[in-house]
Structure 1
Amino acid sequence: MAKKKDDAGSESTAVAKGLFVRCRYCGQKNSVKADYKNNSANCGRCKLPLSNEPHKKFADLGKHEYIHPADSKALAALKAIPGIDTALKKLLAVTGESAIRVMFMATAVKVTPKQCPDLHAKLQIACTTLGVDMPDLFIQQNPMVNAFTGGVEKPVIVLHSALIERLSDEETLAVIAHEVGHIHAEHVLYLTAARLMEALANLSVARLIPGSEIVKFIISAGIGGALLAWARRAELSCDRAALLVVQDPHVIGRTMMKLAGGTFASKIDYDLFLEQAREFQKNYDEKKLDKFWADIINAGLSHPFPIWRVSEILKWVEDGQYKDLMKKN
């Protein structure tokens, strides 16, 4: 015990002298300059900003504590379709979950403690914060700014190269945490089926795969449309999961700003972007025609509008629900 006390004392002295700072996210001890200030340097392991602010880890976080109401409502409607679970399990059995893993092992780069170690550290941070076993993480060369989670028994997360190139380290953590949120929220069965239905939406293509009768049944029964409608709303829940990991709503906001504005985002005023998000939400809530067109346009997309996602996160924070959850766990 005496030795531990000496070690702790020497560490405190070192911090006081500005020699090192322990990363609040991953725990790595980092050497810093004597004039160090919060957020003026990044961790050598996870590359996230160093700060003496605490980072909360959730001991027993339940998915229903952060699931978005629109997600819950859409999922209930989806589960009300007769035979849906059986059909989806047959679909995934036919297409083979192993195909997902084989594809990315062959066409993407697998992240490990030695391969892209900062991304591996970010994945570990997201998983330990939410209480999820670490899935495999891959980087795939793709000009589309996107990320997704696939598989069921052994989920995998895939980040597109364009996304990593465009986002900051904190924003990249937010995206990884969003994908880990899908695993924590137990979205992966329906989410994998939804993405597969997007790929097989053309029946002429669907007929080429084994078990095409199952695909045709799913489409004809309206399951495909219900799946995609739910999948869009599930993204709102996982934005909340991302916030529980990064613990700064503006990181989520800036990420969405880049998704909306692309590389031009560096010239965009973030505060004005937040005003735009609030204006969008106000019009959506108060103007029936705006709501009608927003719903129609968004129905053709795989994700909710970035501006809508920002407004939903702002609402969750400003309503006090996020703060209450941070205190509770």
Structure 2
Amino acid sequence: MLEFACRFCGVFNRFERLFCISCRRRLVPLTVYDLSVDDFAYPGDVDNMHALEGSRIFTGLARRFISGKRDEMLRRWLGDRARLVEQSSKLYEIVKRCGWILGVERLPEVYVAGLPEPNAFTFGDDDNAVLVIDYRMLELLTEDEVTALVAHELTHVKSRHLIYHTLAELMLRGVDIVAPILGVGVVTASLRMLLLAWHRDSEVTADRGALLVVQKPDVLKGLLAKLTGAADGGKVEELFKTHPNFRSRVEKINEFYKSPEYIRAVNKIRRREELNQALAPLCRFCKEPKPVEAFFCPSCGRSQL
């Protein structure tokens, strides 16, 4: 059995593993053949993210606070209602597959929990995230929809949305809560609106990432319909929410699906998968051992590309 050491934690992993069994980091470094955020990011997400990052003091305080409070938040929010998902489970296989396609550098810890309502969310530090899925989602959704759900959440991880997402959720509980937590005097109304506007745009980016993984618009639309009940608030009401309304999200999914950007990203995914198969230690046709760097099998002579 071929094994090699993780370059981060030193734990040995079987050759075919995509992510380390110990630290959950990607075992093969990202290359130009892997998806980057630029391949699918929604322009509004990028623009508002740059504006938020321009407030360096606020951003630095937020990152230090949330990174330091990650485990405390996990215990407080989940308590004894959650169980860690085993790496041998079917759900974790979906997480690994989504993470590989999206080019995620480190998988989140994955929990199944009993939440107040059927949902899923990611939180914590961008470099050490937690993904929580309500157990009812696994009963309500098809396997394709679960994949779309996981891919949506992992796109947030890939896009480094988590710090600002957590702040936006706190904003909904009142501006006066966030400022004392961060140790600043006041969070302005304009910053609050910018944060909420960015959060809505970041959801469009996450929908795009999910679409690239499942490549079936109807699956993603079906997932959103189940999550939202197809409820459609007005534009004014939407301004004070972290998520865009159902109709707006469907329109943007259709728009991206028909775009040249989508076609280029899908082709990139396919080329990466072909390269991954070519670099395997076994021929993908005759299954005989071969050097990982060989693009032609020494046994059957067939090209691995």
- TM-score of the aligned structures, taking structure 2 as reference length: 0.68
Partner of residue 277, structure 2: none
Identity %: 27
Within 5 Å, which residues of 2 pair with 1:6-85? 59-81=33-55, 83-85=57-59
The aligned amino acid for 2:167 is A
CA offset at residue 118 of structure 1? 1.9
The aligned counterpart of 1:191 is 165
Equivalence for 2:4: none
Please show how residues 83-98 of structure 1 align to structure 2 within 5 Å.
Answer: 83-92=57-66, 96-98=69-71
SS of residue matched to 1:157: strand
Tell me if the contact between 2:94 and 2:150 (Cα under 8 Å) persists in the aligned partners: yes
Does 2:103 align with 1:135?
no
Q: Which residue of 2 aligns with 1:118?
A: 90
Aligned partner of residue 117 in structure 2, secondary structure? coil
Query: Which one has the largest radius of gyration?
Result: 1
Look up the match of 2:118.
145
Q: Which residue of 2 aligns with 1:303?
A: 243
- 1:253 to 2:227 alignment: no
User: Compared with structure 1, are the counterparts of its residues 303 and 162 closer, same or farther at alpha carbon in structure 2 (3 Å cutoff)?
Assistant: farther
- Report how far residue 226 of structure 1 moved: 2.2
Distance 1:86 1:254, change over 3 A: same
CA distance in 2, matches of 1:143, 1:165: 16
Cα root mean square deviation, aligned: 3.0
SS at match of 1:217: coil
Counterpart amino acid of residue 297 in structure 1: E
- Counterpart contact for 2:83–2:111, Cα < 8 Å: yes
The CA distance in 2 between the partners of 1:130 and 1:230, in whole Å, is: 21
Give the Cα separation in 1 of the matches to 2:65 and 2:111. Answer: 24
Once the two structures are TM-superposed, the CA of residue 215 in structure 1 deviates from its matched residue by 5.8
- Distance change >3 Å, CA 156–CA 176, structure 1 → 2: same
**2-structure distance, mates of 1:172, 1:165:** 10
97-106 or 300-309: bigger deviation: 97-106
Deviations 1:47-97 (A, max 9, x none): xxxxxxxxxxx942110110001211222332334632133235426x612
Are the counterparts in 2 of residues 143 and 162 from structure 1 also a CA contact under 8 Å? no
1:12 alignment counterpart: none
User: Is the CA contact 1:256–1:307 (under 8 Å) kept in the aligned structure 2?
Assistant: no
Contact 1:148/1:179 (<8 A) preserved: yes
Q: Deviations over 1:101-121 (max 9, x none)?
A: 33436431211135xx22111
Contact kept? 1:147, 1:158, Cα under 8 Å: yes
Cα distance in 2 for partners of 1:74, 1:99 equals: 29
Given the superposition, is the C-alpha separation of residues 197 and 92 from structure 1 closer, same or farther in structure 2, using an over 3 Å criterion?
Answer: farther
Work out the CA distance in 2 between the residues paired with 1:122 and 1:218.
Answer: 42
**Contact kept in structure 1, 2:107 and 2:129, CA below 8 Å:** no
Unaligned runs of 5+ in 1: 1-25, 27-57, 266-279, 281-292
- Counterpart CA distance in 2 for 1:100 and 1:165 is 26
Matched residue SS, 2:131: strand
More helix by share: 1
How many residue pairs align between the two structures? 237
Matched residues in 2 for 1:135 and 1:105: separation? 18
Q: Deviations over 1:238-273 (max 9, x none)?
A: 1111111112122112112223437xx9xxxxxxxx
Residue 175 of structure 1 corresponds to which residue in structure 2? Answer: 149
* C-alpha deviation, 1:176, in angstroms: 0.6
* Alignment partners' CA distance in 2, 1:246 and 1:92: 31
